[in-house]
Structure 1
């Protein structure tokens, strides 16, 4: 098990803004990686109501279960690597959460037995180091739609905010309130039902 505090900044982009950053920040030479987030929730959306999220990220041949919870400095992420076989059982709603994830879920008042698979979001991602941060360009596909996003991960909130603002200002990109991927996925899923 691993835990970390994630400090990140996000901004949805237009297709034109995405291509501008792709060119100007020299992403052309960086390999694009495909990853799929498989999301889980209770029937009455207990995770969402607590500001938490649970996903399995499939990236190449790795399957990582991650529980994200609110934290004063960002998000507390609890990770556990799964075998492909275990991940496939999760996708068939035969969930057996590792003890560290179960512990965190219990602290939220949620039983793993109440969780179910609700769908997936696939992202084509490129990332690079930039001014002591990690800059990420994402093109995501879910519920019959797609979007473009700039993410920036930093070790400190102050430094991350400064670099993020500099990028937006330099490339004349409007700052937009941007929900995380799981919230965007849920909004699209609820609209399509």
Structure 2
């Protein structure tokens, strides 16, 4: 499956995260494990491509994200948990949409590396302004908090997101992607 993802996000202070959890009090959180994949020399990253295997309690997906003029084109390939486990343990990418898309772009790699795992506890709900997700992420010795809003229209979404933050007295903090935060932390360690 392929779709355009337009996402707005801000890092949160822990106090703001706790305050916003009330807004999601009707939602049961989902835990997702994000296994980031590249080569030892970051060939995907140098091509501005992010790849992950995300596992849930009873399913998994392989995803690549490729930046567009607005947003990211996201290619998702469903996996069962056994396929995901094998792919992670053997650092092999299963045949399908993702490899096909990489091949279409002239990227043919045989030596994959699982960079590590970032675990997110996510509260997600559809709102008047878009699909909103409140995340608590754990990687290495870091816990961080983030609010994301997925929208169809970037300009309107940006105004709505800023308005939501102001209404809730939350200061906007630029949020690099989870993968970028993960890699920057791994390079420091």
Alpha carbon RMSD of aligned pairs, Å? 1.4
Q: C-alpha offsets along residues 14-36 of structure 1, whole Å, 9 cap, x if unaligned?
A: 0011122222xx21121111111
Does the alignment pair 1:183 with 2:176? no
TM-score between both structures, scaled by the size of structure 2: 0.94
Tell me, in whole angstroms, the C-alpha distance in 1 between the residues paired with 2:52 and 2:95.
13
Tell me, in whole angstroms, the C-alpha distance in 2 between the residues paired with 1:108 and 1:118.
22
Aligned runs of 1:39-78 on 2, under 5 Å? 39-78=36-75
Question: Structure 1 stretches (4+) deviating beyond 4 angstroms?
Answer: none
Q: What's the counterpart of residue 141 of structure 1?
A: 138
Q: Is the 8 A contact 1:97 1:112 kept in 2?
A: no
Does the alignment pair 1:127 with 2:124? yes
Q: Matched residue pairs, number? A: 189
Tell me, in whole angstroms, the C-alpha distance in 1 between the residues paired with 2:15 and 2:96.
45
SS at match of 1:68: strand
Q: Which runs of 5+ in 2 are unaligned?
A: none
TM-score between both structures, scaled by the size of structure 1: 0.92
Tell me, in whole angstroms, the C-alpha distance in 2 between the residues paired with 1:83 and 1:172.
41
Change (3 A) 1:96 1:135: closer
Shift of 1:12: 0.2
Q: Is the 8 A contact 1:90 1:117 kept in 2?
A: no
Q: C-alpha offsets along residues 41-87 of structure 1, whole Å, 9 cap, x if unaligned?
A: 11111111122111011011111000111111200111111122221
Tell me, in whole angstroms, the C-alpha distance in 2 between the residues paired with 1:83 and 1:35.
14
Q: Which runs of 5+ in 1 are unaligned?
A: none
Aligned runs of 1:74-113 on 2, under 5 Å? 74-113=71-110
Worse-superposed segment, 80-89 or 53-62: 80-89
Tell me, in whole angstroms, the C-alpha distance in 1 between the residues paired with 2:28 and 2:132.
14
Q: C-alpha offsets along residues 96-128 of structure 1, whole Å, 9 cap, x if unaligned?
A: 432321122124443241321111000011012
Tell me, in whole angstroms, the C-alpha distance in 2 between the residues paired with 1:109 and 1:76.
17
